[in-house]
Amino acid sequence: MKKLSLIVPMYNEEEMIPLFFEKIEEVLNQIKDYTKEIVCVNDGSRDKTLELLKEYKKKNNDIHIVSFSRNFGHEAAVAAGFKCAKGDVMIVMDADLQDPPEVIFELLEKYKEGYLVVNAKRVDRKSDSFLKRTTAAWYYKIISKMSGKIKVPENVGNYRLMDRKVVDEINSLPEKNRVFRVLVPYAGFKTTTVEFVRAKRPKGETHYNYKSMFKLAGDSIVSSTVSPLKWALKLAIFFGLISSMGLVADLTLFIIHLVNNQFLFGFNFGVLTIILCMFFCLSIVLLVLGIFGEYLSRIMIESQNRPMFIIDEDLE
């Protein structure tokens, strides 16, 4: 019999755990043709998440707890789930039931039809705030425009099914800066999509503030394309040339005025244009510098080559 692994990152989810297991056990009990494993990755929770998980594990032997030494972040938790899960087929889902567990039936149905990746797409995000929906819409638009040959599907977050073959490919990638929703389409394989309505979080609060959403957007862009870097370079060269031409023109003007003995007027005129030019060029330089910095900081992280996460306990 094939084994199905559910991968569930959990950070300070003590309020959600009873609800989650009630719902997920109800769904999993209806699935008879797989053995099951629920890989709960405790991402350094500071509340009772780990204690509760250990309690539930006493009653349910399918629970596999992977506990980090501290909070490493959602993407790291997903990566650890993939490394530790034993299944032939895996499903990633959030612990807050925003990814409705009933969709698992549809995911497995498509898997039976021969798809190795089954995305779960959010078709209705009314449960998310207006700002979250708008920024998310922009995020998916920009990523799918920029990622070129990799087709990053819109409104597909982490909830999806993958065959072991796909997971092995993702596990073997060397990079530390991982955005799972960009890596899966990078890996490719026969893919399809099912749709679902995103539920409201019943308990607890989102861990994604706008700062972490910007970080996710930055990571997604930098990890999937170098075109901003190329544009920054072009911009720098173009405006570099323009500003040096401007400088030559300014100097010429200045000398002409000097020779014609109109020094005072020429000087004022020259200074004003030079200042305006300088401010304009400075803004371009800062923009280019910012883009370079985004890439450079990630090269730094990659070259440090630290592990993505540190596991404190692994209770199978």
Could you list the residues that contact ligand UDP (CB under 6 A)? 9-11, 13, 43, 71, 73-74, 77, 94-96, 98, 206-208
Whose Cβ is closer to ligand UDP: residue 25's or residue 43's? 43
Q: How far is the CB of 309 from Mg ion (least distance, A)?
A: 20
Instruction: Indicate the residue among 76 and 236 with the shorter CB distance to ligand UDP.
Output: 76
- Min dist CB 95 to Mg ion, Å, is 8
From the list Mg ion, ligand UDP, none, pick the one residue 13 interacts with, judged by a Cβ distance below 5 to 8 Å according to partner type: ligand UDP
196 forms beta bridges with 122
Closest CA to 21 of 35, 33, 36: 36
- Nearer Cβ to ligand UDP, position 67 or 98? 98
Shortest Cβ 158–ligand UDP spacing (Å)? 8
Give dist(CA 39, CA 250) in Å, integer: 67
Whichever of 131 and 256 has its CB closer to Mg ion, that residue is 131
Binding site for Mg ion (CB under 5 A): 94, 96, 98
CA dist., res. 316 & res. 159, Å (int): 23
Rounded alpha-carbon distances, angstroms, from residue 253 to 108, 124, 268: 75, 62, 11
The residue (of 37 and 94) whose beta carbon lies closer to ligand UDP is 94
CB of residue 108 to ligand UDP, shortest distance in Å: 21
Least Cβ distance, residue 97 to Mg ion (angstroms):
9
DSSP character string of 220-242: HHHHH--HHHHHHHHHHHHHHHH
Q: How far apart are the first and last CA of the chain?
A: 19
The Cα–Cα gap between 235 and 242 comes to 10
Tokens 């043709």, residue?
A: 33
- Cα–chain-centroid distance for residue 45? 20
- Partner whose binding site includes residue 138, from ligand UDP, Mg ion, none (CB under 5 to 8 Å by kind): none
CA–CA separation, 34 and 12 (whole Å): 30
214 binding partner (options ligand UDP, Mg ion, none; Cβ < 5 to 8 Å by kind): none
> What is the nearest approach in angstroms of ligand UDP to the Cβ of residue 109?
24
Distance of alpha carbon 242 from alpha carbon 51, whole angstroms: 64
Q: In terms of CB distance, is 65 or 93 closer to Mg ion?
A: 93
